A and B are shown apart, each in its own frame.
Chain A
Amino acid sequence: MTTDSKTNVFHKKKSLFQYMKQNYMLYLFLAPAIILTIIFKYIPMYGSIIAFKDFSPMKGIWASDWVGLEHFTKFLTSPNFGDIFMNTLKLSVYGLVLGFPVPIILALMLNQVKRASIKKNIQLILYAPNFISVVVITGMLFIFLSPTGPINTILSFFMDNPISFMSDPDAFVSIYILSGIWQGAGWASIIYVAALSNVDPQLHDAATIDGASLLQRVKHIDLPTLKPMMAVLFILSAGGIMGIGFEKAYLMQTAMNIPTSEIIATYVYKVGLQAGDYAYSSAVGLFNSIINVILLVFVNYVVKKLNEGEGLY
C-alpha cells in the first residue's frame, strides 16, 4: 500500500484494474461480507416487491401478478389498523419518555459515589439484568405477577382479590416498560458514567471554591458534558420508535391482553408466517420500515435545529 502510494506520487495513478490485480487479496477479504449482504439483505430488499403483488407460491415472487397498493390500502382501512398502530406508538413513546432519563439520572447518581470499590460493585449489580434473556425476563414476569405470585402475596395485605396482571390489557404497557427499565437502565448508563468520569476534577474543585452547591455543579458541569451524547442516543431511539422489537411483546401476549399488546411486528409475524399471507404481511412490514426511515430523518433534523447544527449525520 505504502510503496504503491509512494510511487503514485511520481507516476501516473494506476488504473483501478491494475490496483485490484495487485491487491486482490484485500478484495477477497471483503468477499464473504459482500456475498452475505447481497443474499440476506439486498435480495430480501428486492423481494419486498412481494408487497405489491398477488403472491402465488406456484409462480414465485417474480412471476406473480402485480396488484399495486392493494395490500397497503387493505391494511390502512382494516378495523385492526388503528389499534395496532396506536399500540406500537404507545409502547415506544412511553418507553422513550420514561426510559430515556433513567440511565442519565443513574449515571449522575453513580458519579457521586466516591469510593471506587463500592461504585464498581453497584455497577456490577445494575448491569447484570442486561444479560438475562427475554424468555427468562418474561417467564419471571409471569411468575412474579401471577395471581398466586409474590407480588399478589404482598398486595393481599391491602386488597381482597388478587390481580391477574398478565391478562389485564390496561397493565400491559406499564409491565412492558417498567420491566424494560429494570433490565436495561443500568446497562444504558455505562456510556454516561464513562463520560462523567472524564470530567476534569479541577472543574468541580474550582466551582466548589466559588461557592457552587452540589446541585449547581451537576447542572452546570455534569449535565452539559452529557448533552451531546444524549442527543445522539435520543435520535437513535426516537428513530427506532416504530421499530419496536417483536421478541418481548410476543412472549408477553396472552389471549386477554391482545387489545393492547398486538403491535405491528407481532401482527406481521402472525399474518405472514402463521397464517401464510406473505404478500399482505410484507406490505405491513414495509409500511412500518418506511415510517421508520422518515422518523429517523425528521428527528435528526429537529435535534440538529435544537443542538446548534450538531446532528447525527
Chain B
Amino acid sequence: MNYSKKDRFLLMINKYVLIIATLIILLPLLYVLLASFLEPNVLLSKGISFNPDDWSVQGYVKILQNEAIIRGFFYSILYSVGFALATVIVSILAAYPLSVEGFRGTKVIMIFFLITMFFSGGLIPTYLVVKDLGMLNSIWAIILPGAISVWNIILARTYFRAIPKELQEAAKIDGASDLLIFFKIILPLSKPIIFVLALYAFVGQWNSYFDAMIYLEDAKLHPLQLVLRSILIQNEVQPGMIGDQLAMAELKKMSEMIKYSSIILSSLPLIIMYPFFQKYFEKGVMVGSIK
C-alpha cells in the first residue's frame, strides 16, 4: 500500500508511542525482578545495579525458609485448583441441559440464573449464610459461593450449542442415555471451553484475597495473597523471618528485599503459564463477547 508523506509520519509517531507504552508496562516489572536479586544495601544506596558483585539470592533464601509463605503457596494452589474444579463441574453440568433443543424449562431456569446478575444479597447477608452453614475457616467457604457463575454457564452453553446436533441425534437413536451422550460425545469435544473456564477460575482465585480475608479467620489457612498483603502493605515482618539479634536497620533492609522476592514468587505460576496459554486467555475474552 502506498502511504503519503503525512501518513508515513503518522505511522512513525504511532510506532514510537507504542514503544513508549510497552516500556511503561515493562520497566516497573523489570525493576522488581532486578531488585529481587540485589543486595539490600545496594538497592538502598545505589538503586538498580548491573554489577554481578551486587547480586544476591538472599531474598529468595529468606522467603523459602518462611513457613507462612510456603504454607500460603500450597493453600493458594489448593484453593485455586479446588475452585477451578468446582466452577467447571457446576458450569458445564448446568449448561448442557440448557443447550439441548426442546429442553423444557430452559426459559424459567435462565431467568432464575439471570436475576442473580442484577440483584445480589450483598456482603453481609452472604457472609451470614456462609457463617450459619458452619463454613467459616474451611475450604468450602472459598470454593462454593463463587463456583456458581451465570456468565460461565452462558459461555459453556454457547459452546455446546455450536456442536453439530447430528452426533447427539445419532447416538440417541442408537439408544444412548443422556449421561452417555454427555460424557462420550459432548465432553471430548468441549476441551477448549473447559480449559478456558478452568484457567480463568484458577487465575481469579490465585489473585484474590477478599473471600479468604472475610471467611478464613485462622491465619494458618491463609492463601499466599493474604500473606503477601501483610508483607507488602501492612509492612509486617513475618515471625522467624529475621533473627532477633539483627538491628532495626538490618531488619528494614531485609524486609525491603523480601518484598521484591515475594512478589516474584507469587507471580511465578502465572508468569510461567501466561505465554503458553495466551491463546486460551484471549479466547476466553472472545467467547464472552458473543452474547
Give A residues with C-beta under 8 Å from B. Answer: 1-5, 16, 19-20, 23, 25-27, 29-30, 32-34, 36-37, 39-48, 50, 61, 106, 109-110, 112-113, 122, 124-129, 131-136, 138-140, 142-144, 148, 150, 153, 182, 186-187, 190-191, 194, 204-205, 208, 213-215, 229, 246-247, 251, 268-269, 272-273, 278, 281-282, 285-286, 288-289, 293, 296
Contact = CB atoms under 8 A, between A and B. Distances in A.
A298 B36 CA distance: 49
Given A208-B1, A213-B6, A293-B119, A131 B109 contact: no
Given A30-B93, A34-B112, 9 more contacts: A1-B172, A25-B178, A25-B179, A34-B109, A37-B112, A48-B121, A135-B229, A136-B232, A138-B232
Interface of B: 1-4, 6-7, 10-11, 14-15, 17-18, 21-22, 24-26, 28-29, 31-32, 44, 47, 89-91, 93-94, 96-98, 100-105, 109, 112-113, 116, 118-130, 133, 144-145, 147-148, 153, 165, 168-169, 172-173, 177-179, 182, 203, 206-210, 214, 225-226, 228-229, 231-233, 259-260, 263, 266-267, 270-271, 274-275, 278, 281-282, 285-286, 289
Contact of A125 (B22, B133, B145): B22
B137 to A, nearest CB: 15
Given A41-B120, A229-B289, A272-B124, A124 B113 contact: no
**Residue of A32, A204, A273 most packed against chain B (CB within 10 A):** A32
B248 to A, nearest CB: 16
Contacts of B207: 131-135
A44 B44 CA distance: 50
B264 to A, nearest CB: 10
A273 B178 contact: no
Contacts of A204: 1
Contact of B97 (A29, A129, A140): A29
Contacts of A106: 21
Contacts, number: 257
Contact of B125 (A23, A44, A127, A140): A44
A289 B94 contact: no
B124 A285 contact: yes
B135 to A, nearest CB: 10
A152 B31 CA distance: 15
B271 to A, nearest CB: 8
A246 B209 CA distance: 11
Given A40-B126, A133-B207, A229-B289, A47 B121 contact: yes
5 contacts: A37-B148, A138-B232, A139-B229, A272-B127, A282-B122
Contact of B124 (A2, A127, A215, A278): A278
Given A2-B169, A134-B209, A136-B267, A41 B148 contact: yes
B129 to A, nearest CB: 5
A251 B153 CA distance: 31
Contacts of A208: 1-2
A36 B285 contact: no
A40 B233 contact: no
B231 to A, nearest CB: 8
A143 B123 contact: no
Contacts of A19: 104
A142 B233 contact: yes
Given A41-B120, A44-B120, A268-B124, A150 B31 contact: yes
A33 B94 contact: yes
Contact of A5 (B91, B102, B147): B102
A85 B119 CA distance: 20
Given A2-B169, A30-B109, A126 B25 contact: yes
A190 B121 contact: no
B182 A186 contact: no
Contact of B94 (A30, A135, A205): A30
Given A124-B278, A125-B26, A126-B21, A214 B90 contact: no
A4 B124 CA distance: 47
B289 A191 contact: yes
B286 A48 contact: no
**Residue of A40, A126, A186, A187 most packed against chain B (CB within 10 A):** A40
Contacts of B15: 113
